[in-house]
Structure 1
Amino acid sequence: MRVMLMAGLLAVAGVANAGTPLPDGPHVVTSGEGKVSVAPDMVTLHVSVTKRNPIAANAKQEADQAVNRFLEALAKQGVENADITASGLDLSEDTERADSGRRVSNGYTAERSIEVKLRALDRFNAVLDAALTAGINGFGNPTFESSRKTELMAQARALAAQDAQRKAEDLARGFSAHAGRIYSIDSVGSSTGERYLGRGELGTVTVTRSKTAPARYLQPQIEYRERVQAVFDLQR
């Protein structure tokens, strides 16, 4: 009877991940999920500058000058060097073949990428304006974040553990048993995502170069998710 009870609960709860230790006696395996949503308080900007010139050194110099102007502007905004990444350079020649088969050069392209972490969203507008003024001409999607990520992931993990235990107790109760001592716990995985709320709930960041032409950036809620798998002894 005890063997049948264990088999029935495992069929409902699912088989443990490979490598997860299982007890010899009756047990139940469950997985739990936890999620915490918050408004972001930081943003990472992904920008780049691309310059073309018939001379490779000139293309690089023009890109470097735009980056240097932007870095100077960031310093004035109080952005720390530790929050800036601007070390990469991609320099390439644009070539083609003429009808005669002769190789023809159309000049050189120099591209540099910059990532900037802003720890205060109220600087968003000023930094984007500074990038445009400096000659930055490539803008990727901003990545919104929370400075409390470690704390929030811990909260999501605790919720996942509670969810796994609740499921184990519900399953055991259906077979006139109850979940006993915890035998093993595994972290199945964690993730971070963005979620846009409904109208009226959506936060925005307004970006403008003039008072007559504002632009709105949608500010999502950040979701921190955690999944765990747990094995409990069964007791009758």
Structure 2
Amino acid sequence: MKRALIIAAATLGFTANVSASPLPDFPFINVTGEARLEVAPDKAKIQFVIRQTAAKADAATDAVYKQGHDLMQFLAKHGVTDTDVDAAQINKEAMYKDYQDRTITGYEASQPISVTLNQLTHYVAIMDYLFKQPQVFSIQGSFDSSQREQVERKLSEQAGADARQRANHLAGAQGVKLSTVFAITEGTGFGQLAGDFGFGGGAVSYGMLRKSVEMADAGPSLVLPRHITLHKTVNVIYKITP
């Protein structure tokens, strides 16, 4: 883990006529504090859809059942349990000759599936398996950290401290003093005020990529992120006094 640069934006606001404004009706300073931290991911979620077509509805549905059964057997060999798999209800749609001729020519059965990996040891092998299955579509993988809650709690504190520091600097530059906190939010804004100043929420981004250990000696392969960036934003409105 390494601490990334903390940045913030601050604005000084005085309001007079606020009969139709969402802004506070007293002198205030609005600041946005941010904190980021790069962490190595240790878990992932894979989402995809099994989709089968056949001339008859039962054949399409049975094909989805079979592929799902084969998938569960494969996942079990890679340490994935039933509780790590979340499958939605199977959906069936009729296929027609064309938009004008509504003669049914076959059926399509599909089932969205989500797989949670509590460790990344077999991520590449599972993704490689899914990519090579002819009737698996819309494959997406996302990464996360099992320490997210603890890290984000610390980031919230750092972002709050950053916001106060920015507010103190801005107030001092204008010859005023900070008073009490009027409002504070984490990762969201204050109605129209948020739109005016472009408040942003927490985000996850991906860093440099690397090959997985299990594929290190192979040819071209899937890659895992070296890190993900956890981000917290704190928006604060301080009352100010001369």
For the aligned pair, the TM-score class normalised by the smaller chain equals 0.7 to 0.9
Change (3 A) 1:133 1:176: closer
- In structure 2, the residue matched to 1:170 is 169
1:196 to 207, 225, 234: 207
- In structure 1, the residue matched to 2:91 is 90
Change (3 A) 1:133 1:96: closer
Q: Is the Cα–Cα contact under 8 Å of residues 212 and 223 in structure 2 kept in the other structure?
A: yes
Q: Is the Cα–Cα contact under 8 Å of residues 45 and 117 in structure 2 kept in the other structure?
A: yes
Q: Is the Cα–Cα contact under 8 Å of residues 23 and 233 in structure 1 kept in the other structure?
A: no
Q: Is the Cα–Cα contact under 8 Å of residues 67 and 134 in structure 1 kept in the other structure?
A: no
- In structure 2, the residue matched to 1:3 is none
Distance in 2 (alpha carbons) for counterparts of 1:152 and 1:33: 14
How far residue 128 of structure 1 moved from its aligned partner, in angstroms, is 3.3
Q: Is the Cα–Cα contact under 8 Å of residues 124 and 223 in structure 2 kept in the other structure?
A: no
Residue 143 (str. 1) matches residue 142 (str. 2): yes
Residue 10 (str. 1) matches residue 9 (str. 2): no
How far residue 131 of structure 1 moved from its aligned partner, in angstroms, is 4.3
How far residue 114 of structure 1 moved from its aligned partner, in angstroms, is 1.4
Change (3 A) 1:136 1:85: farther
Distance in 1 (alpha carbons) for counterparts of 2:101 and 2:233: 60
- Greater Rg, structure 1 or structure 2? 1
Letter in 2 for 1:54: A
How far residue 207 of structure 1 moved from its aligned partner, in angstroms, is 7.4
Find the residue that maps to 1:191 and give its secondary structure. coil
Distance in 2 (alpha carbons) for counterparts of 1:184 and 1:129: 49
- In structure 1, the residue matched to 2:184 is 185
1:9-158 paired onto structure 2 within 5 Å = 9-10=12-13, 27-97=28-98, 103-129=102-128, 131=130, 137-158=136-157
| More helix by percentage | 1
Find the residue that maps to 1:142 and give its secondary structure. strand
- In structure 2, the residue matched to 1:229 is 235
The CA deviation string for residues 47-92 of structure 1, in whole angstroms up to 9 with x for no partner, is 2222111111011001111001111222232223222111331211
Find the residue that maps to 1:122 and give its secondary structure. coil
Percent of residue pairs bearing the same amino acid type: 20
Distance in 2 (alpha carbons) for counterparts of 1:176 and 1:102: 76
The CA deviation string for residues 145-175 of structure 1, in whole angstroms up to 9 with x for no partner, is 1111111221221122112101111111113
Gaps of 5+ in 1: 1-7
TM (norm. structure 2) is 0.73
TM (norm. structure 1) is 0.75
Gaps of 5+ in 2: 1-10, 189-200
Letter in 2 for 1:215: S
Q: Is the Cα–Cα contact under 8 Å of residues 83 and 116 in structure 1 kept in the other structure?
A: yes
Find the residue that maps to 1:125 and give its secondary structure. helix
Q: Is the Cα–Cα contact under 8 Å of residues 205 and 219 in structure 1 kept in the other structure?
A: no
